[in-house]
Chains A and B, each alone.
Chain A
Amino acid sequence: MAKDSKTFEASDFGKSTRRRLPICFCLDVSGSMAGNPIRQLNDGLSSFFSSIRENDETRASADICIVTFGGTVDIFLPFGKLTKDHSIPKIQATTSLTPIGEGILTSLELLIARKEGYKNLGIKYYQPWLVVITDGAPQGNNAIENMEKAITAVNELESLDRLVVFNIGVGNNVDFTLLKRLSKKRQEPICIDSAQFSKLFEFLGSSSSSIVSSGMKDDALYDLSGTTKGNSVAMDEFFKYLED
């Protein structure tokens, strides 16, 4: 007997699993970020999360964690904790040193573990983003050694197209030589001052939407002078803004 369509129920079908885009923010909260910079960083993050929430597709796909480094390395927001109504507590600056390398290595561990988790559960995913924002140079015990380890690990993953790297320097005290080495695909680190955080996070939010909604390729995230693809905010506009 042929089955009548009226007998089909929603429960007969599963739910399509969204492809996930894991993003790890690795943020400098050392002493030099105290005051206005950390306030503007929080505002920028807040607008980033708002833009993620506004887009159904990106909200369903973006999987975000935040690692902070300032004296110690802390997992400020673990993966999987961001919900529609969940507000993110404000990040506080410390009065300590800048263990960038350790922060990046921790972020990589989290991203790799997250990817393994997706694989084990059969969840499709986009290649993870590592967003490093710092206003200084490596400081603390084994700081340079850890930074070198981090650069090697990040370069390897990036060269295999297993990681998208945003190396972002804030202000004039950044060790741009080291920061530049963090990405072999990006010709120069992204250089901003703290007043430009909101624009930076707007750019990151729109880029994540373009990856998820419009199938933009990861390489476009490095080709920042290229023409706009998908429905993103024009990426070159961000740089025009910086130039202006």
Chain B
Amino acid sequence: MIHEVKLAYLSLPGRKHRDRGLPNEDACVAISGNGVSVICVSDGAGGSQYTHAEIGAKSIVKTVSELMLNHFDAFYLDVRENVVRSILITAIQSELAILANENGIVSLEKLSATMMFCAVKDSRMICGHIGDGLIAKVSVAGIAPLTIPQNGEDSTSTFFATFPDAQDYLRIIKTTTDDTHAIVLMTDGLSDMVYNSSNYLVRPVVAALAELADLPGEEVEPQLKEAIMKHVIEASPLSDDATIGIVYFCDTTIPDAAKFSSEKPMPSIDFKDVMRTVQLELLPRVKLARSIVSQSGKPLDTGGTPTGKLAKSEESVESSNKDSANSMPDTNTKTKKRWSKRLYLYCILGLISIIVLIAVLISIL
């Protein structure tokens, strides 16, 4: 079933900017057309080196929302995830580069910003996310993170759409809207207040905030502003810029947020279980598989993909094996060698024939 979609958003400067007369570095666009509804939010990077993050964030939300509005089906239907991510990041960075050139900005880094979007067409939905902030899904069953914040080793190492390898970090979720009541996008100025990254709990207040999108049009912004200004912005003299974007599906069952849990047990996380451990664990089997392939002299009938991936994995674990990584049998190389031998034989035969011919001619003359 296809539901009418309402979009609502609000972006407020945090006190750490407002009180010093600095601008809001968040940006948000909500736009509908071509049967598509899109909300995109971005958080310009804080810090003195990101001198133009504010205009970077504005450019990013414009680029992404227009792409989704005009090409939703292309992005939804293409199953090549890396292509989808690559095209989005290329579009973002191209516009930023042009913007940088126009404004005499020497580096894309100065325009650094995160990005989150949600685009809906009929009952299909695409969400994308790079960096911190949170996208939450509200349904009758409860409220849960759809994509969790990306934070690196420290506060300066979240991931920005301006990174050269940004597409490696861009998350894309393609799904349907069937059980969804609302999608809520929040920059970290708000998500830090309503999301506990220790136990992944999204506070029920997010469902209540989403419900404001269903108010009569003129009431939505004042009501959102009153709630966020009072309880988020004014809550601390150091509050960050806070932006919320709501995709609200009309005529879906309104969940009872009061019944949502405000508590969640801490997950049992093994912090020593990192990807390098997995790689090292796999290494003996990878080596075994590759030695089998090498000995048999012919590639496995798998299109080469799995063994190729394993080879890459092994390289990343044990760079000293780089040379042996190239020892996989190569059909093209073998064919080339065979043809070289034949060519050599033909040359020899040709030479002998010429010598015989010359000898015959001399004897006749």
Contact = CB atoms under 8 A, between A and B. Distances in A.
B49 A215 contact: yes
A121 B212 contact: no
Interface in B42-75: 45-50
Interface in B223-280: 223-224, 226-227, 230-232, 235-240, 254, 257, 269, 271
Contacts, number: 99
B50 A215 contact: yes
B48 A13 contact: no
B154 A10 contact: no
A101 B226 CA distance: 56
B155 A126 contact: yes
A217 B223 contact: no
Contacts of B48: 214-216, 229-230
B363 interface: no
A199 interface: no
A120 to B, nearest CB: 7
Nearest to A12: B205
Given A16-B240, A229-B48, A230-B48, A122 B197 contact: yes
Contacts of B314: none
B193 A16 contact: yes
A234 interface: no
Contact of A8 (B45, B50, B208, B254): B208
A57 interface: yes
B26 interface: no
A90 interface: no
B198 A124 contact: no
A14 B155 contact: no
B327 to A, nearest CB: 32
Given A124-B151, A124-B155, A8 B230 contact: yes
Interface of A: 1-5, 7-10, 12-19, 56-57, 60, 116, 119-122, 124-127, 161-162, 214-218, 229-230
Interface of B: 16, 45-50, 151, 153-156, 192-199, 203-205, 208, 211-212, 214-215, 223-224, 226-227, 230-232, 235-240, 254, 257, 269, 271
